[in-house]
Amino acid sequence: MTDALDLLLAALLVIAGGFGLIGSYGLIRLREGMQRLHAPTKASTVGLGAALLVSMLHGLGTGTGFSWQELLVMIFIFVTAPISANYLSKLHLHLRRAELDLPETGTARDWATFDHQPEPAEPSLPRRDT
């Protein structure tokens, strides 16, 4: 394994570990529920991305070749992390509205996530007459 690639992979591994630890430490360090969303959804994702990058590049040095499979996990994680973060913030807004002290919208409407969503009508299934 060449020295440059060796150095690059080691640096990426240290970056991955650092970001992963920062993300998890922020989860217990930040004070308020909404703030706590920041650390894991961003820092941990970057840490995992760096670890997957190392896994992709590692084959170049050992002779097994560049592997594309980790790219799938990376894309999947990067796509789904904002979705779960969005769901979690909605959960905070809906369950803890009284204590959250939300700012005013400035218009007559409330925040869009509190819009009344009518229940969908029950589909009328065909009944079997016995």
Partner 1 sequence: MIPYALGFAFACFGAGLLLNLWRLARGPAMADRILALDTMVVNTIALIVLYGIATGTGINFEAAMLFAMTGFVGTVAFCKFQLRGSVIE
- Interface residues with partner 1 (CB under 8 A)? 1, 6-7, 9-11, 13-14, 16-18, 20-21, 23-25, 27-28, 33, 36-37, 40, 44-45, 47-48, 51-52, 54-55, 58, 62, 64, 67, 69-70, 72-73, 76-77, 80-81, 83-84, 87-88, 90-92, 94-96, 120
How would you class 7 by CB atoms within 10 Å of its CB: exposed for 0-12, middle for 13-18, buried for 19 or more? exposed
37 DSSP assignment: G
The residue with tokens 């980790």 is 70
**Of 51 and 106, which CB lies nearer to partner 1 in the complex structure?**
51
Minimum distance from residue 124 beta carbon to partner 1 (Å): 17
Minimum distance from residue 130 beta carbon to partner 1 (Å): 29
d(CA 16, CA 28): 19
**Of 106 and 120, which CB lies nearer to partner 1 in the complex structure?**
120
Minimum distance from residue 125 beta carbon to partner 1 (Å): 16
CB 71 within 8 A of CB 51: no
d(CA 74, CA 89): 23
